[in-house]
Amino acid sequence: METGVYINGAPATTPTCNEISINGISNGVPSSEVGWTPPSSLDANEQLRQILEQQNRQFIELFKAVQSPPKSTRQGGSITLPKFNPDVLGVDAISWCSTVDVIMADNPLEGSTLIIALSKSMEGCASQWLSQICYAGITWQQFRELFVQRFGGIETPAATMIDLFNGHPNDN
């Protein structure tokens, strides 16, 4: 007859060094019924290196995402145009258009994205005028023509008043 330890009717396996305890004190190495063995230091170093490399790749991707916003954001009206307020003395509509021409050459906008960018830059009576003339699908060139017609005159308000007083009314 065989002598040995039986667990649930099956012979028990020979305990490993990790499972042996002396006087009820284990040797400090965790044991497991599934036979877990700690990775060798070479495997642990390789795993650590892979984790660090993956972390570095994720940091690089994060920095790239932070440095350059997605195209949808850039084209989504986040372009900042110079302010235009015709109520301020000395504002030149033609110069403003020339500046915006340069911006639009690099970042062409049209339709709602153009309207959003323009609404952020128009102040005073120009913002009210903008809400009256804008329509779906408007391009920069179409807006520019309307803008120059409205604000591009070289006459100052004082010159307009002088012309009004010097002129005489029509018979009609």
Q: Quick one: pLDDT at residue 72? A: 45
Reading the block at residue 36, the tokens are 């877990």
Quick one: the chain helix, strand, coil %, rounded to 5? Answer: 50, 5, 45
Rounded Cα distance, 100 and 17, in Å: 79
Rounded Cα distance, 34 and 149, in Å: 85
Q: What percent of the chain has pLDDT over 70?
A: 63
pLDDT digits (tens, 9 = 90+) for 43-70: 888 888 999 999 999 989 888 888 875 5
Q: Quick one: pLDDT at residue 167? A: 72
Q: Which helix (H) or strand (E) holds 55?
A: helix 41-67
The region, left, alpha or beta by phi > 0 then psi within -120 to 50, assigned to residue 79 is beta
For the chain, the distance separating the N- and C-terminal CA atoms, rounded to the nearest angstrom, is 134
Mean pLDDT of the chain: 77
pLDDT of 99 strictly over 70: yes
Q: How far is CA 60 from the centre of its chain?
A: 16
Q: How far is CA 21 from the centre of its chain?
A: 60
- The answer to whether the pTM exceeds 0.85 is no
pLDDT of 12 strictly over 70: no
Rounded Cα distance, 118 and 87, in Å: 17
